[in-house]
Amino acid sequence: MKKHNFSAGPCILPQEVFQKASEAVLNFNNDHLSILEISHRSKPFVDVMEKARSLALELLGLEGKGYKALFLQGGASMQFLMTAYNLLENKAAYLNTGTWSDKAIKEAKLFGELVEVASSKDKNFTYIPKGYNIPTDADYFHCTSNNTIFGTQIKHFPETEVPMVCDMSSDIFSRQLDFSKFDLIYAGAQKNMGPAGTTLVVVKEEILGKVSRTIPSMLDYKVHLGKDSMFNTPAVFPVYVSMLTLEWLKNFGGIAAIEKINEQKSTLLYNEVDRNPLFAGVVATEDRSHMNTTFTLTNDSLSETFDAMCKEAGINGLNGHRSVGGYRASMYNALPVESVQVLVAVMQALEKKA
Amino acid sequence: MKKHNFSAGPCILPQEVFQKASEAVLNFNNDHLSILEISHRSKPFVDVMEKARSLALELLGLEGKGYKALFLQGGASMQFLMTAYNLLENKAAYLNTGTWSDKAIKEAKLFGELVEVASSKDKNFTYIPKGYNIPTDADYFHCTSNNTIFGTQIKHFPETEVPMVCDMSSDIFSRQLDFSKFDLIYAGAQKNMGPAGTTLVVVKEEILGKVSRTIPSMLDYKVHLGKDSMFNTPAVFPVYVSMLTLEWLKNFGGIAAIEKINEQKSTLLYNEVDRNPLFAGVVATEDRSHMNTTFTLTNDSLSETFDAMCKEAGINGLNGHRSVGGYRASMYNALPVESVQVLVAVMQALEKKA
């Protein structure tokens, strides 16, 4: 039975990526060895790493602009720490738009003064703060582009003179932006880029090397850059699958092409949430995420019926984050429009039944 | 053509593990979803993580002895840093037996006073120092059980009152030891345990919480323990394949059973290195590693012929580490005796030919 996978991450990847990845576990590069048993220093894998790094820059339109890409371990959570370790000398400015920003702030506080320029905590992170000021003497400004848990997304990034750092874990490669506005972008792979276990870091080299502390090797971007993202054994398979996914996106037409599909999917679902009296959106309309749609039932007593109908239709991963409840439909790049159509059909069927 | 994979790591894993892993990339747990697209909080994956953690303790004979197992990211290189961050308050004692110890020492120096109790650097790490003293006021003693690059292995661990920390990346699960002598064991997965991308940490809980510094969340063992190794998204696939490999080892008869095979393999190869006048071992006989046999040709002009014969026989990954040259046959748990027999036959054929 066909599954419709709305998981918030790790999440659906293109079927052809699963196919190629599965084959490579048995026979990679037609060398009759598994991708899991080859040296990370072998030419076939070095080629994979280099291709993944250059595809990331190419898709973001950042080639030849002073940026480099790294595939590190530890997820965005490790980046909360590494960004501060590498960039925070005196003071940093953070925008607080939810759980992930909150965690990033907590880790950065160990390294210097933190200025929370704005927060939407007052309304349980259901909107994106606007019109805040970023201190011009901050070492950098940090924000989270998309909030998986609450379903909000920054549509307009602030103008600022200070380096801009952005956690794009849950919407990177999903929409066109002027990525050159950012000085450091990081993203755990497990949404639009690949499986869990690797993290993309795209950094403008000129912002590094400015803090006075000694940075441990594994936390030092310059160390990783100096070794072309091979300072130590990388997460070979997650990097390989990320490369396959980036390749798939390039063949698809890149970010411009996938953005159209993503808009189609989110329009379809938000329209139904707004139209159907049994459902209600959770967040401010203008800040709605195109990746994660959060919604609730207006009548809680229907939840068992709705859950059963979803299951019957092959819908997976629709439960809201354990910290907020309700429903959440994550519609990452690889989710077909058809899956959203199936979900909308179930929502309409519930309305008829109720 | 059958390959004989002597790679130093990432390295060969059991064929049945590759088979199951390949299947799980398409259909995990018969849920018609890829292991790469399911939530790490879903029951099927939580079960995988818990099984991997308990199998690790069971195979090491450490169940019910105050130890817990974690599967973290970042490799042994991240553990060089984390062990010091979590345990080093004033002074730590390190045994220097090669590149990896050296790197561990370098990172730990950022956190306190380092005492190098002994080093074999004087003879390019071709032996294991003995008879050294470990200061009784050290916060811990750190050693590397097996040195992949040089091909040495500690056969007798020192007696000490201070907590013992050991990097067992390249020989964990390969030989019987009284693992309860150690207070913290870490090991990158990519030798005897699984693919690159996850790192096993086995820690006696009572040694934690004794340093006065604030530890960043991602580097704090107590944080990871408090979340059952799920503080953030783990490297799902590498942990799954590690679980499969540990399961395979358990079914094989555990460490006692694999140790016999490992001894058989290393005896076979060292005997040939010693017997065959065309080859010479590199390290002190009593310190020879059962995992990595390093050797050289006594006549360099034969190297092209030998390399070609190896290739012809399907032998892969026999080149020595780029920092030392020569040859290195890594014979981890999953390497069949047959592969060593093939290598020995090639060495004998070279002798006849020369």
First to last CA, chain B: 26
Active-site annotation of A, residues: 100, 167, 191
Interface touch A195/B36, C-beta < 8 Å: yes
Model confidence over B305-321: pLDDT tens digits? 999 999 999 999 999 98
Model confidence over B3-42: pLDDT tens digits? 999 999 999 999 999 999 999 999 999 999 999 999 999 9
Q: How far is CA B246 from the centre of its chain?
A: 14
Contacts of B235 in chain A (CB under 8 A): 73, 196-197, 235, 238
Report the residue from A23, A107, A233 with minimal CB separation from B217: A107
Domain assignment of residue B5, yes or no:
no
Min Cα distance A71 → chain B (Å) is 11
Residue burial B140-160, b: 16+ Cβ < 10 Å; e: rest:
bbbbbbbbbbbbbbbeebbeb
B49 and B134 both lie in a single domain: yes
Rounded distance between C-alpha atoms, residue A52 and residue A246, angstroms:
7
Rounded distance between C-alpha atoms, residue A317 and residue A329, angstroms:
8
Domain assignment of residue A45, yes or no:
yes
Report the residue from A36, A40, A76 with minimal CB separation from B13: A36
Active-site pick, B68, B100, B139, B183: B100
Last residue of a domain, one of B236, B252, B268: B252
B307 and B205 both lie in a single domain: no
A-contacting residues of B 309-348, CB under 8 Å?
316-317, 322
E strands of chain A, at which residues? 4-5, 67-72, 91-96, 113-119, 141-144, 146-147, 152-153, 164-167, 184-188, 199-204, 279-281, 292-297, 315-316, 327-330
Task: Please check whether residue A232 is in contact with residue B75, taking contact to mean a CB–CB distance below 8 angstroms.
Answer: yes
B238 and B315 both lie in a single domain: no
Which residue from B minimizes the CA distance to A75? B233
Q: Is B167 annotated as a binding residue?
A: yes
Rounded distance between C-alpha atoms, residue B227 and residue B221, angstroms:
10
Active-site pick, B68, B191, B204, B265: B191
Model confidence over B267-276: pLDDT tens digits? 999 999 999 9
The CATH number linked to B281 is 3.90.1150.10
A76 and A121 both lie in a single domain: yes
B165 and B235 both lie in a single domain: yes
Task: Please check whether residue B265 is in contact with residue B337, taking contact to mean a CB–CB distance below 8 angstroms.
Answer: yes
Mean pLDDT (chain A) is 97
Give the model's pLDDT for residue A1.
Answer: 75
Interface touch A25/B25, C-beta < 8 Å: yes
Interface touch B217/A81, C-beta < 8 Å: yes
Would you give the DSSP letter of residue B214?
P
Give the model's pLDDT for residue A322.
Answer: 82
A-contacting residues of B 25-44, CB under 8 Å?
25-26, 31-34, 36-41
B304 and B161 both lie in a single domain: no
Domain assignment of residue B312, yes or no:
yes
Token pair of A1, please? 């039975």
CB–CB contacts below 8 A, A to B: 187
Domain assignment of residue B10, yes or no:
no
**Strand ranges of the sheet holding A292-297, from the earlier edge strand across to the other edge:** A279-281, A292-297, A327-330
Interface touch A197/B37, C-beta < 8 Å: no
Domain that holds residue B309: 254-353
Interface touch A219/B81, C-beta < 8 Å: yes
Give the model's pLDDT for residue B175.
Answer: 98
Model confidence over A121-169: pLDDT tens digits? 999 999 999 999 999 999 999 999 999 999 999 999 999 999 999 999 9
Last residue of a domain, one of B231, B252, B273: B252
The CATH number linked to B131 is 3.40.640.10
Which residue from A minimizes the CA distance to B219? A78
User: What ipTM does the predicted assembly reach?
Assistant: 0.98
Last residue of a domain, one of A252, A267, A293: A252
Choose, out of A103, A167, A212, A233, the residue to mutate when testing the contact with B (most B CBs < 10 Å): A233
Nearest to A89 by CA among A184, A177, A213, A183: A213
Q: Is B77 annotated as a binding residue?
A: yes
Q: Is B248 annotated as a binding residue?
A: no
Task: Please check whether residue B344 is in contact with residue B272, taking contact to mean a CB–CB distance below 8 angstroms.
Answer: yes
Q: Mean pLDDT throughout A184-198?
A: 98
Number of domains, chain A: 2
Domain assignment of residue A5, yes or no:
no
Give the model's pLDDT for residue B354.
Answer: 84
A31 and A125 both lie in a single domain: yes
For the question of residue B227 being annotated catalytic, the response is no
Domain assignment of residue A6, yes or no:
no
Report the residue from B31, B107, B233 with minimal CB separation from A196: B233
A187 and A281 both lie in a single domain: no
A277 and A244 both lie in a single domain: no
Tell me the backbone φ, ψ of residue A167, rounded to 5 degrees.
-85, 105
Which residue from A minimizes the CA distance to B23? A22
Active-site pick, B167, B183, B220, B287: B167
B-contacting residues of A 79-98, CB under 8 Å?
80-81
B202 and B145 both lie in a single domain: yes
Sign of the CA dihedral running A29, A33, A35, A37: negative
Helix intervals (H) in A198-276: 221-226, 236-252, 254-275
B281 and B326 both lie in a single domain: yes
First to last CA, chain A: 27
Task: Please check whether residue A349 is in contact with residue A15, taking contact to mean a CB–CB distance below 8 angstroms.
Answer: no
Min Cα distance A76 → chain B (Å) is 9
Model confidence over B126-145: pLDDT tens digits? 999 999 999 999 999 999 99
Q: How confident is the model at residue A324 (pLDDT cuts 50, 70, 90)?
A: confident
Domain assignment of residue B156, yes or no:
yes
Give the model's pLDDT for residue B243.
Answer: 98
Q: How confident is the model at residue A354 (pLDDT cuts 50, 70, 90)?
A: confident
Would you give the DSSP letter of residue A119?
E
Domain assignment of residue B73, yes or no:
yes
A259 and A286 both lie in a single domain: yes
Cβ within 8 Å of residue B160, ≥6 positions away: B134, B136, B141
Query: What percent of chain B stands above pLDDT 90?
Result: 98
Min Cα distance A98 → chain B (Å) is 16
Q: How confident is the model at residue B86 (pLDDT cuts 50, 70, 90)?
A: very high
